[in-house]
Every structure is written in structure tokens, then in C-alpha cells.
Amino acid sequence: MKRLHLDDVVESSDTEALQQKVRELSAQLEEAEKRERDFRRLEASLLMGQVQTVEVIVGAIEAKDEYTRGHSRRVAELSDMIGAILKFDSSRLWKLHIAATLHDVGKIGVYNTSLRKESRLDDREYLQLKEHPEIGERILRNVDQFFDIAQVVRWHHERYDGKGYPDGLRGDEIPIESAIMCVADAFDAITTKRTYNKPRTVEQAIEEIMEHSGTQFNPRVVDALRQALLPNKLNSIQFEDSDFGYDFEIPDASI
């Protein structure tokens, strides 16, 4: 029987065509990898631009209202923790972080006398301060990179029972991101020194917020806050001998 050689199966021209195809595919793959690298660099550049823009805006807010110094950062950090407990993906967490950082941006449009008053606000001043979520939305929706979070900021003072402002939304009508910021904002207000009240402990703040779960606050968010800030303590965990290996006995703690 005659043995077949490669040359008998594949003509020289076919081999050259195959090699050319391989070279073309390799070049296309290289170009695709380059485009992906360029896209990642652009994405990183846009992200840094977004961060710098946020820092400038927050600086403007803090310059106008001494109380807000550090408040936006704390609300954003606690919102991040709650979002993580609620299993937000990274993209959604980032948007939540930016929205929470900018939740008080509308205070730029509020009179300094209302922001810096050391006693409780009168009715007129309170009504004027209540406009800051709407002002914040108007500011953010005119910036392309913040358009998606504008309404989230607008609704961060809505209440679960529908008695909030500015639109009187209730229950699940309120975006979960807005509900998270509402809880984080309240927690920071309770635990931060104000001219009209002393700061309370984490435990006291959580207890107060839990008392208003289902009325002022979304119960899911309140539960996530509790999980984020009150993890199980070692002394609250009970073990039995059967939880361990064969013939294991838990030592007597009194020995």
C-alpha cells in the first residue's frame, strides 16, 4: 500500500494560504488586545475624572456648611457597607458611593444662615432647607456622568410610610439606593455632635433606627445596617461537643 505524504494531501499553495490566515488572525487578536488596553486606560481616566469632580463638589459643600465636613464621606462609607450586605455588584456599589457622597450637593443652593444656624431651624428655614434634594437633582442631572444618580439623590429624604419629601413616595416606590442613604444619613446625624443634641453610641443609634423600621425606614435596609454594624460577638456563639470531631470535649471554662 502506498504511504501518503503531507505534500500529497496539502498542496504548497494551500499551506501558504493557511499560514497567511494564521498571521491575519494573530494580527486581529493583537489589535483586539490593544483596543481592550486602550479602553481600560480610558475607563480608568474617566473614573479618575469622576472622582476628582466629586472631590471638588464635596469641597464646595463643606466650605459652605461646617457640619458637612466629613459627613458626606461617612454617609458614603456606611452606604457602601449596607450595599455590600444587600449583595450589590461593583458597578451598583460605585454608583451608590457617588450618590451618597453627593447626597447633600443641593445645600449649595441653600442660604448660609439656615445651614450655619446653631439652634433649631424655624418653620421658614426648615422649609427652605427641605429644598436641597430637589436642588441637588437639578445640579446632577445636568452633568452627564451623574445623570443616573440624580433621582437617587432627589429621594434620599423620602420615608417608607410616604410622609417624606419632596414627592411623598412610599415603600418600594423609593429606590433602594435612596432608602440606604436615608438610613446612613440618619445614623450619622444620631452619632455626630450637633448644637442641639449629644452624639449617641452605635448601639443606641441602631436601636433608635430600628424603632422606626417600617415607618421612616425601609426594613430591609435597617436589617442590613444592623448586620453591618453589629456582627456576632464571640461570647454570643454557643458550641456543643457534637460540633467538633470524635471524642472531643469542650474544656471547662472555670479550670
Known catalytic membership, residue 193? no
C-alpha span between 133 and 211 (Å, rounded) = 25
Nearest to 193 by CA among 58, 23, 71, 25: 71
Per the listing, cell 417600617 goes with: 214
For domain 12-232, the CATH class is mainly alpha
Write out pLDDT tens, residues 58-105. Answer: 777 777 666 667 888 899 999 999 999 999 998 899 899 999 999 998
> Per the residue annotation, which of 107, 163, 193, 198 is the catalytic one?
107
- 202 pLDDT above the threshold of 80: yes
* β-pair partners for 197: 194
- 170 pLDDT above the threshold of 60: yes
Helix or strand or coil: residue 4? coil
- 250 pLDDT above the threshold of 50: no
C-alpha cell at 53: 469632580
Interval 237-251 mean pLDDT: 42
C-alpha span between 181 and 185 (Å, rounded) = 6
C-alpha span between 222 and 214 (Å, rounded) = 9
Helix or strand or coil: residue 89? coil
Mean pLDDT of the chain: 79
C-alpha span between 18 and 6 (Å, rounded) = 14
Please tell me which residue, 197 or 220, carries the higher pLDDT value: 220
C-alpha span between 145 and 115 (Å, rounded) = 28
Write out pLDDT tens, residues 12-53. Answer: 566 777 777 777 777 777 787 777 777 777 666 666 666 677
